[in-house]
Structure 1
């Protein structure tokens, strides 16, 4: 096989491998939104995260921006 063709194939394979390897890191690098609502709820009940929907979620509760609170264990 021609040496330049072999090097080109190896280089393309390396680039594809690197591109695929960085996909999970790029997906995790996107920050969660932090609205005023989430900041207020975090001060009230620390330890949760703000979802892309703007909800503040703790292990026990889901705080919705409209003011309702759902208990995660019961769904109410």
Structure 2
């Protein structure tokens, strides 16, 4: 349990743990070259954050997201 600092909204604080998972994962797989094939399994919050991070690093066409739920699949396709 951690105290949320003054000025940080609860919805921002809620992303702390998912973003820390992303930062650790990025340290493990970096460097990732453009054209490297990447599979993201699931498009929950962490999957969506991965898709965004990889997109920002130029991996746009080589990322595949596997998601069985139609609503989540539609959300990730909009990225």
| TM-score class, shorter | under 0.3
Q: RCO higher in 1 or 2 (8 Å CA, sep ≥ 6)?
A: 2
TM-score (structure 1 length as normaliser): 0.26
TM-score (structure 2 length as normaliser): 0.25
Larger radius of gyration: 1
